[in-house]
Amino acid sequence: MPRGAGRLSLFLLFTPFLLWIVLLIVLPQIGIGYVSLREKVGINQYEFGLKNYLDFVGEPIYRNTLLRTAWMSILVTACALVIGFPVAYYIAKVAGERSRATLFLMCLIPLWVSDLVRAYGWIVLLRETGVVSSVLLRLGIIGEPVEMLYNDVTVVIGLVYTVILFMIVPLVSTLQGMDNALLEAGYNLGGSRLTVFRRIIVPYAMPGIVAGCIITFMLTAGSYLTPILLGGKNSSWFTEQIYNQFITRYNWEAGATFGVVLLVFTSLVVWVGLWVTGQSLATTVAKD
């Protein structure tokens, strides 16, 4: 290709990328970084400083909410992995060619409706006068209606529900790439089921596991409706703090600070995860 034309087309390809990444990602992030450093000293009076961060550190509820969010997100990620792995394995390796496509499609079902409707569905099911309680009552398994909403278990169930898809999809695609001959070689050389699982399947699926965990963790940590609607009085989720700052307290400075804190903190968790498993972002999440 002639040089000039190559340059021109490179430029043409670069323009949308740069517009997107600079205007919609990089500058806005810098923007919240900037706002987070403005401290309010009076009505319409601001100074530069770390006060917002100091406030964050000084106020136990913020710290605790962040830790709780992180801890619950890790829990949700772990549950999603444990629940999702057998399903992913079934789809990728056990199911026949045709049912595989159908099962995979069925995994996408939760995506068909929004978070809102999903949470709404759980509420309809789990509330004290909801379907589950009524059915159990009718069957005589419980004596009086039970409230299944507003506790951490429910929040976890609901969150696992919303994110498990993002665990299963990368798992299925890595597991599908695994040659069955590897498993057979594993057995042929004398491995038991457990050995083959531990030494062959898991290491092979590691990029998928890590990718799934990263996405799941980030989605959970950044979710809003599910923990709020299902957690009720006991919710307290870090994104809620951010929304609260912006939407009910119109305190953008604090909100931006929380945003930066959340981003840094979750990135840190992801980074530690990558480091522990010896993977990198480009080899896991980006893998097709």
Partner 1 sequence: MHDLSCTGVTKTFGPFTAVSDVSLDVPSGSFFSILGPSGCGKTTLMRMIAGFETPTAGDIRIKGESVVAVPPNKRNVKMVFQHLALFPMMNVGENIAYGLRCRGDNRADIKRAVTRILERIGLPGSEEKRIDQLSGGQKQRIAIARCMVLEPDVLLLDEPLGALDLKLREHMKIELKLLQHQFETTFLYITHDQSEALVMSDQVAVMNAGRFEQIGPPKELYQAPVSGFVAGFVGDSNCLPGRIVEVRGSEAEVALDGGGAVVGHLSDASANGDEVEVFMRPEALQIGAVDGVPGLDGTVDSLLFNGANSRVLVKLATGQLIEVADPSQVDTAGEGSSVRISWFPDRARIFARRYG
Partner 2 sequence: ETLRLLTWGGYAPEELIKKFEAENPDIDVEVTLSNNEEMIAKLRATGGTGFDLAQPSHDRVYAAQVEYNIYKPLDLSKINVDKMTPKLVEGVKANTTIDGEVYSVPHQWGTSGIMVNKTLAPDATGWADLCDEKYKGRTSMRLRRTILLGTAFGMGMNPFDLYGDKAAYQDMLDKVTEKLIACKSIVKTYWTGGDDLSALMLSGEVALSETWDSTAFKIYAENPDIVFVPPETGALAWIDTFTIPRGGQADDAAYKWINFVLEPENVKIMSASTGAIAAVPNGIELLPEDKRAAVEAAFDEKDIENLKFFANIPPGLEDMEGIALERIQAASSQ
Partner 3 sequence: MPSSPTLRWVYRAYVVIFFLYLIAPLLAAGAFAFNDSLFPSLPWRGFTLDWFFSPTEPKLGLLHDTRLLRGMGNSLYIGLIVAALAVAAGTTNAFLFERRQFPFKSALYILMIVPLVIPGVILGISILVFASMIANFADRQMGLFITWLRPGIPLIVFGQVAFLTTITSLVIAARLKKFDIALEEAALNLGASRLRVLTTVTLPFLFPAMFSAFIVAFLVSFENFNTTLMLVGSDAPLTIVMYDRMVKAGSTPVLNAVSVVLMLGSGLLALASVLIQRPRRAG
> Contact positions toward partner 2, by CB under 8 A?
43-44, 59, 61-62, 64-65, 127-129, 147, 149-150, 232-236, 240-241, 244, 246-252
CB nearer partner 1, residue 130 or residue 208? 208
Between residue 19 and residue 58, which ones bind partner 3 under the rule CB under 8 A? 20-21, 23-29, 31-32, 34-35
Partner whose binding site includes residue 281, from partner 2, partner 1, partner 3, none (CB under 5 to 8 Å by kind):
partner 3
Return the residue of 37, 72, 76, 118 that touches partner 3, per CB under 8 A. Answer: 118
Are 149 and 126 contacting, i.e. CB atoms less than 8 angstroms apart? yes
Return the residue of 109, 139, 181, 276 that touches partner 3, per CB under 8 A. Answer: 109
CB nearer partner 2, residue 209 or residue 225? 225
Q: Does 231 bind partner 3 (CB under 8 A)?
A: no
Are 156 and 205 contacting, i.e. CB atoms less than 8 angstroms apart? no
DSSP of 143-188: SS----SSSHHHHHHHHHHHHHHHHHHHHHHHHHHS-HHHHHHHHH
Residue 129 CB contacts under 8 Å (≥ 6 apart), including other chains: 145
Partner whose binding site includes residue 61, from partner 1, partner 3, partner 2, none (CB under 5 to 8 Å by kind):
partner 2
Are 208 and 91 contacting, i.e. CB atoms less than 8 angstroms apart? no
DSSP state of 222: T
Phi first, then psi, for residue 184 (nearest 5°) are: -65, -40
**In the complex, minimum distance from the CB of residue 243 to partner 1, in angstroms, rounded to a whole number:** 43
Q: Does 12 bind partner 1 (CB under 8 A)?
A: no
Return the residue of 40, 53, 78, 90 that touches partner 3, per CB under 8 A. Answer: 90
Distance of CA 158 to the CA centre of its chain: 12
28-37 long-range CB contacts below 8 Å, 24 or more apart?
29/263, 32/256, 32/259, 32/260, 33/256, 33/260, 35/252, 35/253, 35/256, 36/253, 36/256, 36/257, 36/259, 36/260
CB nearer partner 2, residue 43 or residue 276? 43
CB nearer partner 2, residue 154 or residue 162? 154
Q: Which of 158, 134, 163 is nearest to 146 (CA)?
A: 134
**In the complex, minimum distance from the CB of residue 75 to partner 2, in angstroms, rounded to a whole number:** 17
**In the complex, minimum distance from the CB of residue 111 to partner 3, in angstroms, rounded to a whole number:** 6
- What is the C-alpha separation between 67 and 52, in angstroms, rounded? 18
**In the complex, minimum distance from the CB of residue 123 to partner 3, in angstroms, rounded to a whole number:** 9
Q: Which of 92, 120, 91 is nearest to 106 (CA)?
A: 91
**In the complex, minimum distance from the CB of residue 61 to partner 2, in angstroms, rounded to a whole number:** 4
Between residue 150 and residue 209, which ones bind partner 1 under the rule CB under 8 A? 179, 181-182, 184-192, 195, 199-200, 203-204, 206
**In the complex, minimum distance from the CB of residue 206 to partner 1, in angstroms, rounded to a whole number:** 7
How wide is the angle at C-alpha 10 spanned by C-alphas 8 and 16, nearest 5°? 105
Phi first, then psi, for residue 150 (nearest 5°) are: 60, 35
Q: Which residues bind partner 1 (CB under 8 A)?
A: 179, 181-182, 184-192, 195, 199-200, 203-204, 206
